[in-house]
Amino acid sequence: MDLLFLGTGAGMPSRERNVSAIALRLHEERSSFWLFDCGEGTQHQVLRSPLRLSKLEYIFITHLHGDHLYGLPGLLSSRSNQGGETPVTIFGPKGLKDYLKISLEVSETYLRYDWKVVELGETGGTVIDDGQFEVTAKPLDHRIACFGYRVHEYDRPGTLLIDKLKAAGVPPGPVYGRLKAGETVTLEDGRTLNGAEFVGPPEKGRVVAILGDTRPCPEAVELASGADVLVHEATFDAELAELAKQFHHSTSRQAAEIARKAGAKQLVLTHISSRYQESGAEVLLEQARELLPGTTVAEDGAVVPVRRRP
């Protein structure tokens, strides 16, 4: 599992940063990827990446400002033209369904795959729970309805201790699968084996929190609680805190404060204003690292692994 940043700018594209879009790549977990926001030009960024649109499974829109949304009709159309056939579900605030329906109807765009929009209620809630992942949405503090998303991977069973089974004289076969499932099995020679004794400890599930535009708020802390990776906007530096408040955004230092309160293990800053061109984003990084030394600032094309932790 890793995060691929397709767009890390705020408001409008710049020479260095496209507008918001992040792919959560689930290589080993389910051979697909999920997309968080889809600003204008996202499909161009996908073409420069290893992503294949046919592998796109879910899209999560944080809010309906153009820099998070305008690339969506084109991306869906390109997915169809490139042979994508599996269903796509799109989550987001109220109004998203009308936006897409009108855009596709007026442009007479036909999608060869099934698609649906799930509009979130004001309080958000659980949007996916399939036994492998749970995705929760909560409202944030922005000028319009805006959500953050928490992706929680459930713990996975431990690995089967094959060397221990071989040492016990248990030949490979269907019995291995039953023991891995934790069953108690009686062998042909009369021995009874407890599956729990031949399986390693469970692999702890990972948590990724991806927040939309927001001022600091309790919901941001809740979504990021204990996260392995928190992706938080940092539109302004700390000297512009009043401007950030006025426009319902956060500073880099405020993002670090949220991460620290939440106990997040890694903070990645994104949604960087075009005022911080070239090396200008260093000030954002320095301010956040005063509170959270391991903070990074995302760049377009950056890959951030989401590692399993003990």
User: Which residues are annotated binding-site positions for Zn(2+)?
Assistant: 63, 65, 67-68, 142, 213, 271
Residue 147, strand partner residues? 139
DSSP 209-264: EE--S-BS-HHHHHHHTT-SEEEEE--B-GGGHHHHHHTT--BHHHHHHHHHHHT-
- Read off the DSSP letter of residue 26: E
Contacts of 262 (CB under 8 A, 6+ apart): 209, 220, 221, 222, 223, 224, 225, 226, 227, 230
Using DSSP, state whether 78 is helix, strand or coil.
helix
Annotated binding site: 63, 65, 67-68, 142, 213, 271
- For residues 295 and 289, the answer to whether their CB atoms sit within 8 Å is yes
Closest-CA residue to 10 (of 67, 85, 53, 66): 67
Tell how far CA 25 is from the center of its chain: 8
Q: Catalytic pick from 37, 67, 228, 300?
A: 67
**In angstroms, rounded to a whole number, what is the distance separating the alpha carbons of residues 147 and 61?**
8
> How many C-beta atoms lie closer than 10 Å to residue 48's C-beta?
11
What separation in angstroms does the CA of 34 have from each of 37, 181, 231?
Answer: 10, 29, 15
Question: Catalytic residue at 129?
Answer: no
Residue 210, strand partner residues? 149, 231
User: Which residues are catalytic, by number?
Assistant: 67
